[in-house]
Chain A
Amino acid sequence: MTDKTSHISGGSSGAFWAVSLAPIVWIVLFFVVPLSVIWSYSFGRTLGLTEVAVTGTLDNYVRVFDPVYLLIFAKSLTFAAITTAICLIVGFPYALVMTFATPRGKILLLLGIMLPFWTNLLVRTYALMAVMRTEGWINDGLGLLGIGPVEMLHTNFAVVTGLVYVHLPFIVLPLFSTLDRLDRSLIEASLDLGAGHLRTIFQIVVPVVLPGILSAVLLCFIPALGSYLTPDLLGGPDSQMIASVIERQFKRANDWPFGAALSFMLMYLTLAAMVWRAWSDRRAGRKEAH
Chain B
Amino acid sequence: MALFGKKPGDKGPLDYANRWPLRLWVGAVLLFLYLPLASLVLFSFNDSRRTIRWEGFTVDWYGKMMGDDALISAFANSLTIAAISTLFSVVLGTMTAIALWSFRFPGKGLFDGVVTLPIVVPEICMGVAMLVFFGTIAPWPHDLVWPFDLGAITIAHITFSFPFVAVVVRARLASFNREMEEAARDLGASELGALRDVLLPHVRPALISGALLAFTLSLDDFVITFFTAGPNTVTFPVKIYSMVRFSVTPEVNAASTVLMAITVALTLIGMKLQGRDIAQMEGH
Interface residues of A, Cβ cutoff 8 Å to B? 6-12, 14-16, 18-20, 22-24, 26-27, 30-35, 37-38, 41, 50, 90-91, 93-94, 96-97, 99-102, 104-105, 107-116, 118-124, 126-131, 133, 135, 137, 140, 165, 168, 184, 187-188, 191, 222-223, 225-226, 228-229, 233, 242-243, 246-247, 250, 256, 259-260, 263-264, 266-267, 270, 274
Which of A22, A38, A115, A187 contacts B129, CB < 8 Å? Answer: A38
Measured CA separation A110–B98 after assembly (Å) = 29
User: Would B123 and A228 count as touching, CB distance under 8 A?
Assistant: yes
Measured CA separation A228–B267 after assembly (Å) = 25
Measured CA separation A100–B16 after assembly (Å) = 6
User: Would B133 and A37 count as touching, CB distance under 8 A?
Assistant: yes
Known contacts A107-B275, A130-B248; decide if A26 and B191 are in contact (CB<8 Å): no
User: Would B159 and A30 count as touching, CB distance under 8 A?
Assistant: yes
Which of B4, B220, B267 contacts A97, CB < 8 Å? Answer: B4
Closest to B94 in A: A19
Closest Cβ–Cβ distance, residue A131 to chain B (whole Å)? 5
User: Would A129 and B244 count as touching, CB distance under 8 A?
Assistant: yes
Interface presence of B147 (CB below 8 A): no
User: Would A118 and B122 count as touching, CB distance under 8 A?
Assistant: no
Pick 16 A–B contacts, CB within 8 A, sort by A: A20-B111, A22-B95, A31-B126, A34-B126, A37-B132, A38-B125, A41-B132, A102-B17, A107-B271, A112-B30, A119-B37, A119-B263, A123-B256, A123-B259, A130-B36, A165-B33
Contacts of B156 in A (CB 8 A): 30
User: Would B40 and A130 count as touching, CB distance under 8 A?
Assistant: yes
Known contacts A34-B130, A112-B30; decide if A274 and B4 are in contact (CB<8 Å): no
Interface presence of B106 (CB below 8 A): yes
Closest to B259 in A: A120
Measured CA separation A184–B14 after assembly (Å) = 8
Measured CA separation A233–B260 after assembly (Å) = 19
Majority secondary structure of chain A interface residues (helix, strand, loop or mixed): helix
Chain B residue total in the interface (Cβ 8 A)? 96
Contacts of B266 in A (CB 8 A): 118
Closest Cβ–Cβ distance, residue B35 to chain A (whole Å)? 7
User: Would A32 and B114 count as touching, CB distance under 8 A?
Assistant: yes
Which of A16, A50, A113, A124 contacts B105, CB < 8 Å? Answer: A16
Majority secondary structure of chain B interface residues (helix, strand, loop or mixed): helix
User: Would A19 and B162 count as touching, CB distance under 8 A?
Assistant: no
Measured CA separation A99–B5 after assembly (Å) = 11
Interface presence of B90 (CB below 8 A): no
Which of B13, B106, B244 contacts A122, CB < 8 Å? Answer: B244
Contacts of A250 in B (CB 8 A): 128, 131-132, 227
Contacts of A184 in B (CB 8 A): 14
Can you add 12 more A-B contacts, CB < 8 Å, to A105-B5, A250-B131? A27-B115, A100-B14, A113-B33, A115-B264, A123-B40, A123-B256, A123-B260, A130-B51, A191-B13, A222-B120, A229-B222, A242-B124
Closest Cβ–Cβ distance, residue A50 to chain B (whole Å)? 5
* CB interface residues, B 238-269, toward A, < 8 Å: 240-241, 244-245, 248, 252-253, 256, 259-260, 263-264, 266-268
Measured CA separation A256–B195 after assembly (Å) = 46
User: Would B52 and A23 count as touching, CB distance under 8 A?
Assistant: no
Contacts of B39 in A (CB 8 A): 127, 130-131, 137
Measured CA separation A260–B135 after assembly (Å) = 15
* CB interface residues, B 111-143, toward A, < 8 Å: 111, 114-115, 117-118, 120-133, 135-137
Closest Cβ–Cβ distance, residue B224 to chain A (whole Å)? 10
Measured CA separation A121–B263 after assembly (Å) = 11
User: Would B50 and A135 count as touching, CB distance under 8 A?
Assistant: yes
Leading 4 A-B pairs by shortest Cβ distance: A226-B122, A34-B133, A20-B99, A34-B129
Measured CA separation A102–B266 after assembly (Å) = 25
Closest Cβ–Cβ distance, residue A79 to chain B (whole Å)? 14
Measured CA separation A140–B43 after assembly (Å) = 15
Closest Cβ–Cβ distance, residue A265 to chain B (whole Å)? 10
User: Would B5 and A101 count as touching, CB distance under 8 A?
Assistant: yes
User: Would A263 and B125 count as touching, CB distance under 8 A?
Assistant: yes
Contacts of A242 in B (CB 8 A): 124
User: Would B99 and A34 count as touching, CB distance under 8 A?
Assistant: no
Interface presence of B216 (CB below 8 A): yes
Known contacts A12-B191, A119-B264; decide if A266 and B16 are in contact (CB<8 Å): no
Contacts of B99 in A (CB 8 A): 16, 19-20, 23
Known contacts A16-B105, A22-B95; decide if A120 and B14 are in contact (CB<8 Å): no
